[in-house]
Structure 1
Amino acid sequence: MKQNRRNFLKKLGATGAVAALGDMAFSQESLAQQTLARSEGSSENDQPIRLALIGAGIMGTEDTNSALRHANVQLVAVCDLYSGRLESAKKRWGDHLFTTKDHIDLLKRKDIDAVIIATPDHWHKQISIDALNAGKHVYCEKPMVHSVREGMEVVNAWKKSGKVMVVGSQGVSSLGNEKAKQLLAEGAIGDLVYAEGFWARMSPEGAWQYNIPTDGNEQTVDWKRYISNTNNRVWDPMRFFRWRNYLDYGTGMSGDLFVHLFSSLHFITNSMGPNKISAMGGLRYWKDGREVPDVLLGTFDYPDSKEHKGFNLSLRCNFVDGTSGTTYLRIVGTKGSMDVKWEEVVVKMNQTGASDDPFLQEQARLRGDTESRAKILPPKELVYSAERSWKGAHYDHFGNWFQAIRTGGTVAEDPVFGFRAAAPALLCNDSYFQNKFINWDPVNMKLI
C-alpha cells in the first residue's frame, strides 16, 4: 500500500504531490501520537515510573513539569547544588521529596527508576554514566556532552547498561518535524540540496542573563563540587548562576541552540551529520565578561550518503534581534522548499516551467495554438499546522521515553543520535576559537 502511494506521488510530480498530500495534515496520527495513544490508554494498574531530577534550574523544572503531566509518573527525589532550588522543589512538588546536593546519594536509592539530568553541560557526561551504571533510565538535556571527546563514553555506557536513554532536543518529537520527514520522503520538494537555520533571542534572560538570587553564596551553593571536574576557581556567582556564558561549564550558542537545529535536520533527513565544519562570529553586544560569542554563523558540508545526496547547511544565531525569538529550519530541494517549525510546516514549490506558464499559454492561444489551453494549477504553497489539542513536543518527547521504559522499546533520540547532533554543534566552537575548518567522520563519530 505504502509503495503504491509513493509511486502515485512520483507520477503526480512535485507540485502535484504537495497538493495530493494536502489532506494529510497534522490531524493524521503521527508516530509520537500513536505511541502516546498506547501509553495514555494504559491501565491505572500499570507500575508507576518513579522519577528523580538532577539539576532543578529553569530547564530541569520545565522538564519535570512536562514529565508529571503523564499518567503513572511520580517524582520522588531532587538533587541540586544550590539549597534554594531544593527548598523550591519541595514547595512546588511536595515535602515528601528526598533532596540532596550529591547525585551519588540519589542514585543509590532503590525507589528511583529514572532520572532527568538538567545540570550545566560540563556534568552531563559523568552523571549520565553514573546513572546508567546505577541501573537508572536517563533523560539527559542536550547537548548530552561538553566536548566530542566525551561522546563515545556515554554511548558505550548506554549500550552496556541495557537502559533507555533519551537526549532532550524535544523538537525531534514535534509534529512539524514528523510532517517534514514524511513530505521529504515522499519527494514533495525533490532532492535535498541546501538547508539553513536561524535562532534569535532578544530578552535579557534569553541571552543567559539568568537571575542571581540574593542568598546565592558559598554557604548555600556547593561550589567545590560544581568545579571539581574543571578548572579550580574562587567562588563566582556569575559562573554558577549564569554558567552558559563560560566555556568551563557551557557550550555556547551552538551547544544551546544549534544542537536543536541539527537534531531536527538529522531527524527529517535521516542524516548522520556533516564532514566539514566552520564557524565565525563575535561578541557584539553582551560584553559582560562572557567568554562565548553572542553572534555565531556556522557552515557545514554534508557528504553523499545512502540516506541523501550531498548538501550544504548554514546556521546563524544572535542574542540581539528585533524578531524576538524567531526560529526556523528551511530545507531546500530541487523542486521546492519547506520552512519547518515544531508546530508548523510551510511547503513552497518552485516556479512552474514555461509549458505551465499562464501568460505563455494565452499567447499561444492567440496565435491559434489550441492545444496549449491553460490549465488549473495546483497550489504553490501549503501550510500544515498542528491541531490546537496538541500538547507539544516537550510532552511527546517524555511520552516516547516513558513508553520505551515500560515496553523495552526505543526512543527517537538515543545517545547515538544525540551525539551525532551534538558533535557538529560542539565543533562549531572549536572552529570559532581555533580559526580553522574542522573535519569530522559522522559515521564513526570521530575527528579526522
Structure 2
Amino acid sequence: MENNRRSFIKKLGVAGATAAIIPSVFASEGKPLNFLNRIETKRNSKPIAIALIGAGGMGVADTKTALEHDNINLLAVCDLYDGRLEESKKRWGNNLFLTKKYEDILKRGDIDAVIIGTPDHWHKKISLDALKAGKHVYCEKPMIHSVEEGHEIVKAWKKSGKVYMVGSQGLSSLGNEKAKQLLEEGAIGEINYAEGFWARNSPLGAWQYPIPNDASPQTVDWKKFVEPTTKRPFDEDRFFRWRNYTDYGTGMSGDLFVHLFSSLHFITNSLGPTKVAATGGLRYWHDGREVPDVLLGMFDYPDTESHSAFNLSLRCNFVDGTSGSTYLKIVGSKGSMEVTWDDVLLKQNTASNDNDPFTEEKASEESMTRSDRKKILPPSDTFYEAERGYKGAHYDHFANFFHAIRTGGTVVEDPVFGFRAAAPALLCNDSYRQNKFIQWDPEQMKIV
C-alpha cells in the first residue's frame, strides 16, 4: 500500500511538488477543484419545495441558507413549541403550513425534501419515515443517536432511491477541498498524526440556551418529545437545553467531534479508526448536565490504500478562556497542514530538492569558500485563503444537496459517509462511560 502511495507522489515530479507549495487563491488555480460538485443553481433550474422539521437554532440556520439558493421554496414548518411556529410565520410568511406533527408534512405530495433539525434522539425515526414517504432528506449531524441506528438508515436510504445529506456543513468547505488536493499531491508526505480542537466559552454556560417565559406543557408537546425515550414529567431544561442530557443529545463528541471526523475523512479518503478511547469529565459546569464539559479522544487509523497508518487526537473544552477556537491539523513526514473551513496553512519542514548534481556540487563549493555567507531560503510556510465573496461551506453543502436532487446525482456526505463519521464520535461516549478501549471495524461499520 505504501509503495502505491509513494509511486503516485513520485509521478507528480518537480512540477507537482512545486504546484503544491505556490500560494494562490483557491478558486483561481489552473484547473478548478471539483471534489465536491460545487455547482451554482441556475435561475431556470427546477424548483424544489422544502419543509423544516425542528425549528431550533440549527434548523433555522439550515433553512435560511437553503433559501439563499434560487428556486427553493419553503412550504411548511414543524416544531413541538408554539413559539417557534409563530416565529416561523413572522420570519417566512403567513402562508406557511405549521404543525406539531411531522407526519402531516410527510403526507403532503407537494414537498420534495425535508430538513431535519430536531434533537439527536429523533433523527433516526424521522429519517426512516421521510425516506419511506419518498422525501429527500437533509439531516443535521450526527445522523444517529447511537451506533446501533446507523445500518437502519443506510438500508432505508439505499432502498428509497432518494438523496440523503448529513449536515456536517464544514465538510463542503474550500479549506477541506484545498487540503485534500495538497495531500494527494504529496505536499506533506505520508500522514503519521492528526489532531483537532474545538473550544467554546460562554458566560451563561455552553448549551445553556435561553428558555422562553411561556414554556409550559400547554405550549410544548412534551409527550411527543420524549416518545422515543424515557418518559418523564415536563422539564423545560430538558426540552430547551437538550444537548446536556444523554436521552436526547450525544454530548461534545456528537456535536463537535463529528465535524472533525467528517473533515478528516474527506481530506484523507479514510473510512475511520479501528480503536477508540476517550477520557474527560465535568470540570466546571456543574449545572445538572449529564455529559462532560472537557473531553479527550484518541484513535488509531490503519494503513490503507488511501493513507498510511496514523494516530488522531481530538479535544473539546467548554471551560476555555480563549472564547472559542477550532482547528484540524494533519501532520506528515514532510510537513503539516492546519485546516479551517476558509483557509489552509501549509508548513513544510524541508525545502524541495531537485536532485540536480551540478546544483549540489556548486552548493558544496560555495559552502567551502564562503561559509559565512547567508543563503536565500525558499518559503517553508504557505497560506491559502478563500477568495473574497466566498459564500461559505454551509451554502456549498446545500448546493451539493440540491444539485443531486435535480440531477439524480450523489452527495459528498451520504448516510454511509455520515455513519462512518458519527460512529467513532459516539463511541467516545461509550469509551468514556465504560472506561475502556473500543475496537471498531470501519469497513463493515460495526463494533468488534
Displacement after TM superposition at 1:373 (Å):
9.4
User: Aligned partners of 1:199, 1:249: CA distance in 2, in Å?
Assistant: 21
The code of the aligned residue for 1:53 comes to L
Per-residue CA deviations over 1:48-96 (Å, capped at 9, x if unaligned) read 1000000000000000000000000000000001111001100100110
Q: Do the aligned residues in 2 keep the contact of 1:26 with 1:384 (CA within 8 Å)? A: no
1:270 aligns with 2:269: yes
Q: Do the aligned residues in 1 keep the contact of 2:36 with 2:400 (CA within 8 Å)? A: no
1:410 aligns with 2:441: no
Per-residue CA deviations over 1:187-233 (Å, capped at 9, x if unaligned) read 00001110000000112467101010011110010101110110111
- Percent identity for Structure 1 against Structure 2: 66
The code of the aligned residue for 1:71 comes to D
Q: Do the aligned residues in 2 keep the contact of 1:54 with 1:119 (CA within 8 Å)? A: yes
Q: Do the aligned residues in 2 keep the contact of 1:282 with 1:294 (CA within 8 Å)? A: yes
SS in 2 for 1:31: coil
Q: How does 1:277-316 map to 2 (within 5 A)?
A: 277-316=276-315
Q: How does 1:315-330 map to 2 (within 5 A)?
A: 315-330=314-329
- Equivalent in the alignment of 1:423: 423
Displacement after TM superposition at 1:23 (Å):
3.9
Count matched residues. Answer: 434
| Structure 1 residues 253 and 339: alpha-carbon distance in aligned structure 2, compared to 1, 3 A threshold | same
SS in 1 for 2:138: strand
Query: Structure 2 residue aligned with 1:10, among 13, 18, 22?
Result: 13
SS in 1 for 2:369: coil
User: Aligned partners of 2:203, 2:328: CA distance in 1, in Å?
Assistant: 24
The code of the aligned residue for 1:391 comes to K
User: Aligned partners of 1:47, 1:355: CA distance in 2, in Å?
Assistant: 52
- Equivalent in the alignment of 2:337: 338
User: Aligned partners of 1:420, 1:299: CA distance in 2, in Å?
Assistant: 16
The code of the aligned residue for 2:175 comes to G
Q: Do the aligned residues in 2 keep the contact of 1:254 with 1:425 (CA within 8 Å)? A: yes
- Equivalent in the alignment of 2:38: 35
Q: Do the aligned residues in 2 keep the contact of 1:30 with 1:175 (CA within 8 Å)? A: no
Q: How does 1:81-230 map to 2 (within 5 A)?
A: 81-204=80-203, 207-230=206-229
| Structure 1 residues 277 and 83: alpha-carbon distance in aligned structure 2, compared to 1, 3 A threshold | same
| Structure 1 residues 5 and 248: alpha-carbon distance in aligned structure 2, compared to 1, 3 A threshold | closer
SS in 1 for 2:38: helix
Q: Do the aligned residues in 2 keep the contact of 1:51 with 1:114 (CA within 8 Å)? A: yes
User: Aligned partners of 2:67, 2:205: CA distance in 1, in Å?
Assistant: 25
User: Aligned partners of 1:17, 1:192: CA distance in 2, in Å?
Assistant: 19
Displacement after TM superposition at 1:47 (Å):
2.7
- Equivalent in the alignment of 1:59: 58
User: Aligned partners of 1:30, 1:240: CA distance in 2, in Å?
Assistant: 43
User: Aligned partners of 2:210, 2:419: CA distance in 1, in Å?
Assistant: 30
User: Aligned partners of 2:427, 2:168: CA distance in 1, in Å?
Assistant: 18
Q: Do the aligned residues in 1 keep the contact of 2:37 with 2:400 (CA within 8 Å)? A: no
| Structure 1 residues 355 and 160: alpha-carbon distance in aligned structure 2, compared to 1, 3 A threshold | closer
User: Aligned partners of 1:352, 1:186: CA distance in 2, in Å?
Assistant: 16
Displacement after TM superposition at 1:363 (Å):
9.6
Q: Do the aligned residues in 1 keep the contact of 2:174 with 2:386 (CA within 8 Å)? A: yes
User: Aligned partners of 1:9, 1:297: CA distance in 2, in Å?
Assistant: 38
User: Aligned partners of 2:141, 2:26: CA distance in 1, in Å?
Assistant: 29
Let me know the Cα RMSD of the aligned residues.
2.5
| Structure 1 residues 9 and 378: alpha-carbon distance in aligned structure 2, compared to 1, 3 A threshold | farther
- Equivalent in the alignment of 1:384: 384
| Structure 1 residues 353 and 11: alpha-carbon distance in aligned structure 2, compared to 1, 3 A threshold | closer
SS in 1 for 2:26: coil
| Structure 1 residues 204 and 224: alpha-carbon distance in aligned structure 2, compared to 1, 3 A threshold | farther
Displacement after TM superposition at 1:172 (Å):
1.1
- Equivalent in the alignment of 2:358: none
| Structure 1 residues 307 and 6: alpha-carbon distance in aligned structure 2, compared to 1, 3 A threshold | closer
Per-residue CA deviations over 1:266-315 (Å, capped at 9, x if unaligned) read 00000000010000001011100000000000000001111111100000
- Equivalent in the alignment of 2:4: none
SS in 2 for 1:207: coil
User: Aligned partners of 2:186, 2:110: CA distance in 1, in Å?
Assistant: 49
The code of the aligned residue for 1:268 comes to I
Displacement after TM superposition at 1:429 (Å):
0.1
| Structure 1 residues 84 and 284: alpha-carbon distance in aligned structure 2, compared to 1, 3 A threshold | same
Per-residue CA deviations over 1:326-353 (Å, capped at 9, x if unaligned) read 1000000000000000001000011459
Query: With structure 2 as the length reference, what TM-score do the two structures score?
Result: 0.92
Per-residue CA deviations over 1:93-130 (Å, capped at 9, x if unaligned) read 01101111111111001111000000000000000010
Displacement after TM superposition at 1:8 (Å):
6.6
User: Aligned partners of 1:377, 1:292: CA distance in 2, in Å?
Assistant: 50
User: Aligned partners of 1:35, 1:26: CA distance in 2, in Å?
Assistant: 11
Displacement after TM superposition at 1:323 (Å):
1.8
User: Aligned partners of 1:23, 1:122: CA distance in 2, in Å?
Assistant: 44
* Unmatched 5+ stretches in structure 2: 1-6, 356-361
User: Aligned partners of 1:303, 1:442: CA distance in 2, in Å?
Assistant: 10
| Structure 1 residues 187 and 223: alpha-carbon distance in aligned structure 2, compared to 1, 3 A threshold | same
Q: Do the aligned residues in 1 keep the contact of 2:135 with 2:162 (CA within 8 Å)? A: yes
User: Aligned partners of 2:349, 2:373: CA distance in 1, in Å?
Assistant: 22
User: Aligned partners of 2:369, 2:142: CA distance in 1, in Å?
Assistant: 64
SS in 1 for 2:94: coil
User: Aligned partners of 1:339, 1:163: CA distance in 2, in Å?
Assistant: 35
Per-residue CA deviations over 1:133-163 (Å, capped at 9, x if unaligned) read 0000000000000000000000000000000
Q: Do the aligned residues in 1 keep the contact of 2:25 with 2:386 (CA within 8 Å)? A: no
